[in-house]
């Protein structure tokens, strides 16, 4: 949207009003922006008291200075800037419950794209997986879920395919030393539903109970407000205007992709690892596909669907039997691999989960 606004500003300046000062055109567009927001939200001056007061003061000051021949362009732009800041302050409070931090992040980063992504889908026969998870849970005293098993399986697949387990930096591919897998964590906070991020380092090497403990510990820190990086990012994301948030996210995402950590503003080196796992099965949805977050810079995303019984043919008897299946969808950055290689990885992924005793015990 803001890219389009800049193009409109340039077109108006060059083609229609070349004699008008550029700052005056910018002020006009900002005024139009404020009017549109007030119209769409049905806001009034009474519901925006700081903005109303700043507008009255600015008009009175400008009128007085004009009558005494003291009003200059610099003063005019300064008064208008004060009005815009007041508008921003009031609207932040007015729309916060609808335009929370997560929605701001989505609005400021997602846009139409022609970037190449491969979308894939597979179903995992969980006949042997579910008893295996129960057995591992009973032995370790830690509840192990399908998501934990998927994290472990993705880690094993990534470790076996170093040409995918890596990052693109300055147009060159750099393989990662470890197979780190991140997982999205659902949270309910003061601003409503939110998502946090936790990473399981060395997912391929960790036993399943350790994967479960790591994820549960990190998720507890996120939900309890004790995760430093998540808490450090919240004030910045909350107060920065959406049109400034996009370049900020791009820059911080780029720094994180280089492995740079800046604790003061919540920038963590390689926070997403090389794959992101999330689940809609626990929400009751059968399956869905995940789009690529532009700032994550990972080659692979996996979505775990709802476990459900389905009819299938028993190879031994030829009869129809009912078995539990887990739908899993994948979104892959086409710059890292092609369809053939993706099919090989998906088959390896299925083999791990369908024979967990061999691959994950």
The residues of the chain scoring below 70 in pLDDT are: 1-20, 40-41, 93-115, 170-171, 189-192, 243
Q: Residue 1 has what pLDDT? A: 46
- Beta strands in the chain, from DSSP E residues, in sequence order: 117-125, 166-169, 172-175, 181-189, 192-200, 275-279, 300-304, 308-313, 320-333
What is the H or E stretch that residue 131 is in? helix 129-140
Q: Residue 41 has what pLDDT? A: 67
Q: Residue 105 has what pLDDT? A: 63
Cβ(126)–Cβ(307) under 8 Å?
yes
**Could you give all domains of the chain from N- to C-terminal order, each with its CATH number?**
2-95 (no CATH), 109-359 (3.30.559.10)
- C-alpha span between 85 and 95 (Å, rounded): 15
Q: Residue 40 has what pLDDT? A: 66
Helix, coil or strand: residue 230: helix
Query: Which residues make Cβ contacts (< 8 Å) with residue 359, sequence separation at least 6?
Result: 153, 156, 351, 352
Q: Residue 42 has what pLDDT? A: 73
Q: Residue 125 has which token pair?
A: 């026969």
The number of angstroms, rounded, from the C-alpha of 161 to the middle of its chain's C-alpha atoms is 25
Q: Residue 112 has what pLDDT? A: 45
pTM for this one?
0.74
- C-alpha span between 150 and 39 (Å, rounded): 47
Q: What is the tens place of the pLDDT at every residue in 231-247?
A: 888 887 777 777 677 77
């Amino acid at each position: 949207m803001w890219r389009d606004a800049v193009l409109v500003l340039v077109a108006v300046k060059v083609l229609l009003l070349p004699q008008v000062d550029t700052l005056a055109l910018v002020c006009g567009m900002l005024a139009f922006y404020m009017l549109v927001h007030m119209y769409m939200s049905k806001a009034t001056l009474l519901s925006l008291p700081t903005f109303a007061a700043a507008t009255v003061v600015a008009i009175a000051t400008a009128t007085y200075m004009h009558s005494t021949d003291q009003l200059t362009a610099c003063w005019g732009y300064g008064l208008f800037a004060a009005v815009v800041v007041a508008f921003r302050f009031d609207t932040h409070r007015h729309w916060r419950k609808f335009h929370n931090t997560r929605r701001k992040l989505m609005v400021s980063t997602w846009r139409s794209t022609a970037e190449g992504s491969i979308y894939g889908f597979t179903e995992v026969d969980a006949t042997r997986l579910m008893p295996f998870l129960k057995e591992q849970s009973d032995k370790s005293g830690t509840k192990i879920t399908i998501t934990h098993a998927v994290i472990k399986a993705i880690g094993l697949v990534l470790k076996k395919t170093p040409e995918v387990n890596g990052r693109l930096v300055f147009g060159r591919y750099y393989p990662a030393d470890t197979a780190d897998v991140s997982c999205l964590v659902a949270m309910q906070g003061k601003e409503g539903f939110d998502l946090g991020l936790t990473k399981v380092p060395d997912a391929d090497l960790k036993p399943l109970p350790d994967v479960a403990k790591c994820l549960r510990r990190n998720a507890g820190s996120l939900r309890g407000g004790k995760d430093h990086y998540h808490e450090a990012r919240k004030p910045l994301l909350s107060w920065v205007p959406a049109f400034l948030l996009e370049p900020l996210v791009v820059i911080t995402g780029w720094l994180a992709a280089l492995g740079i950590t800046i604790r003061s503003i919540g920038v963590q080196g390689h926070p997403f690892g090389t794959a992101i796992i999330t689940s809609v099965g626990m929400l009751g949805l059968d399956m869905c596909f995940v789009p690529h977050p532009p700032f994550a810079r990972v080659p692979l995303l996996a979505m775990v669907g709802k476990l459900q019984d389905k009819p299938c043919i028993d190879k031994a008897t030829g009869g129809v039997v009912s078995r539990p299946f887990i739908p899993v969808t994948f979104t892959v950055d086409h710059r890292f691999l092609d369809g053939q290689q993706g099919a090989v990885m998906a088959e390896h992924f299925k083999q791990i989960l369908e024979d967990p005793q061999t691959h994950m015990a």
